[in-house]
Structure 1
């Protein structure tokens, strides 16, 4: 029996991690925290020379034999120090990364911030001149809220995961596969986690885009495709996922 969290949904934001968290909570061999996102390993206010792991463990009920603790904080793969901190905490941790087309991810992220009232820029401005907000303040608030473009560069995130953890502790998934075939995806997760099959689940779609009647302008799609295409192609090849349907990888 161990208090250590054994499985982390580490990314990426707006790729179905809320739905996945809800599915994982239905398995009797998995113990969820009291909140979906603990934001422990991306907390720069903590003393990382001597991390207060008891704060993380306080999110969980008492440890039980045969039950694995998990958590889902999708900034973890993007936040540069987070995965290394997870490895230091639990070198045997299993890491799940859900990847989504980066153009669709950026639009969904921006829509969420607009809906929250934290973003006043248009999408076009947010993905161009708005990127200047991330300069000069590494790991500051803009890295959390306005990182629409930066979070979509997946190659560095995939490489970091592969450098820190062995292949057997990493599971890369594509977000549309979770949405279209949750049972099949959960079967892969059960095998990966070494637990029994999931009970029958009702398909979920948590936190759908709050601005469903809007869409990015074609010029913005073209701009992001130019930024992302090479990185995305290399990232999905390294992760071994099928992303042929991604708009980022579509011709012209």
Structure 2
């Protein structure tokens, strides 16, 4: 097996700060993250999906093989990592078992965010790129879409917990990464096996400017929260953390619910 395979995978979630964390980790002298994001190696078909290699990452690059994958990493680095939120995409259930078969000792990082804010950010992204014509209320509550499913974080990481030891998974709360960047990055570095003491502080991330809520109908936040409340309760139990930053699903709603 190639020697330069990754030791760290950031597996999601979409719209939770994976790009920011990828770039932050790459600043550490012991860490080499793969160039760019979303190698998407651990899902996709066994054969090229079409004739345009530049677009293969969209469908998954499993067909490229381990030699190609290993070539994406710096063999001399103490920690080698990549970030592919598609590894927790509900459309790619094969990813966890493939990762476990190839990288049974890998350290996993999963980012989470207020579930409604994550879904709203995903919807706005798709509206901008022209793939989502529906208003927020229709899209976010559509059971056939992924807006709810990708915000059910415990459900998304459960297949990993079935295969990997609990200590291999480190969960980062996006709101804390934004407000306490150095503390949260040091936590990830320690989890990954890099020296947190060699981290050069960057301070908190610059907060985004005011976000309009003109496209958010009254009551949508609460209705969306009802779709994820049980999952948030399970995540809170798993992490033993009230996740008080998440105003869309108040802790009091799910207190006492086992995960």
* 2:105 is equivalent to residue 92 of structure 1: yes
The equivalent of 2:94 in structure 1 is: 81
Alpha-carbon distance in structure 2 between the residues aligned to 1:218 and 1:103: 13
Residue aligning to 2:167: 168
Query: Which runs of structure 2 are paired with 1:7-156 in the superposition (5 Å)?
Result: 7-44=8-45, 46=47, 52-61=65-74, 63-64=75-76, 66-78=77-89, 79-128=92-141, 130-132=142-144, 146-156=145-155
Give the distance between the partners of 1:246 and 1:238, measured in 2 at CA: 16
CA contact (8 A) 2:7 2:79 kept: yes
- The whole-number CA distance in structure 2 between the counterparts of 1:127 and 1:113 is 12
- Given the superposition, is the C-alpha separation of residues 188 and 49 from structure 1 closer, same or farther in structure 2, using an over 3 Å criterion? closer
TM-score with structure 1 setting the length:
0.83
Which has the higher relative contact order, 1 or 2, with Cα contacts under 8 A spaced 6 or more apart?
1
Secondary structure, in 3 states, of the residue corresponding to 1:80? coil
**Residue by residue, what CA displacement relative to the aligned partner does 1:108-151 show, whole Å, maximum 9, x if unpaired?**
100111111211111111123x443xxxxxxxxxxxxx521111
Partner of 2:182: 183
Q: Deviations over 1:169-222 (max 9, x none)?
A: 11112111111101111111121112112222254469x69x932352222112
Count of aligned residue pairs for this structure pair? 234
Instruction: Check whether the contact 2:42–2:87 (CA below 8 A) recurs between aligned residues.
Output: yes
- Which aligned runs of 4 or more in structure 1 are off by greater than 4 angstroms? 45-51
CA-CA distance at 1:72 after TM superposition? 0.6
TM-score normalised over the length of structure 2: 0.81
